[in-house]
Structure 1
Amino acid sequence: MLNLEPNIPDGDGFYDELLAAHQGLSKDESDALNARLILVLANHIGDRDVLREALKAAGEAG
């Protein structure tokens, strides 16, 4: 089951790290970093049902 509740200790600190990882990148480089990050995290999760739920939730949020 997909957890949509806040679950990252120091979420603001993580957000700062995420922004820092994109610092100085072009739009294309930033998009590529995001794609790689998504694939790394999807592999870590490894559960297709959870990933399917995440795709649905992300699509509904936009």
Structure 2
Amino acid sequence: MATLNLESNLADPDAFYEALIEMHRDLTPEQSAAANAALILLLANQVGDLAVLRAAMARARATVTTD
């Protein structure tokens, strides 16, 4: 069973960040949210393992404060 990798795994984090910002350039907030949702689904399909995806969702949720 695969586990969530929390170590840096990006070959070029700066290039990834630049590409991510470029993906959102000139989009409305609604379009940006839709692009994020599409990207999440594409990456989830790439990962494939539901346990890893659940771990990632829990980790991401834990970073959000809900006053």
Equivalent-residue separation in structure 2 for 1:2 and 1:61 (angstroms):
16
Letter in 2 for 1:13: A
What runs of 5+ residues in structure 1 fail to find an aligned partner?
none
Equivalent-residue separation in structure 2 for 1:40 and 1:13 (angstroms):
19
Number of equivalences = 62
- SS of the residue 2:52 aligns to: helix
What runs of 5+ residues in structure 2 fail to find an aligned partner?
none
Letter in 2 for 1:56: A
Equivalent-residue separation in structure 2 for 1:4 and 1:29 (angstroms):
29
Equivalent-residue separation in structure 1 for 2:16 and 2:46 (angstroms):
18
- SS of the residue 2:9 aligns to: coil
- CA RMSD across the alignment: 0.5
| Cα deviation, residue 50, structure 1 | 0.2
Partner in structure 2 of residue 14 of structure 1: 16
| Cα deviation, residue 49, structure 1 | 0.3
Equivalent-residue separation in structure 1 for 2:9 and 2:60 (angstroms):
17
Q: Percent identity?
A: 47
* Structure 1 residue runs of 4 or more that deviate by more than 2 Å after TM superposition: none
Equivalent-residue separation in structure 2 for 1:13 and 1:44 (angstroms):
20
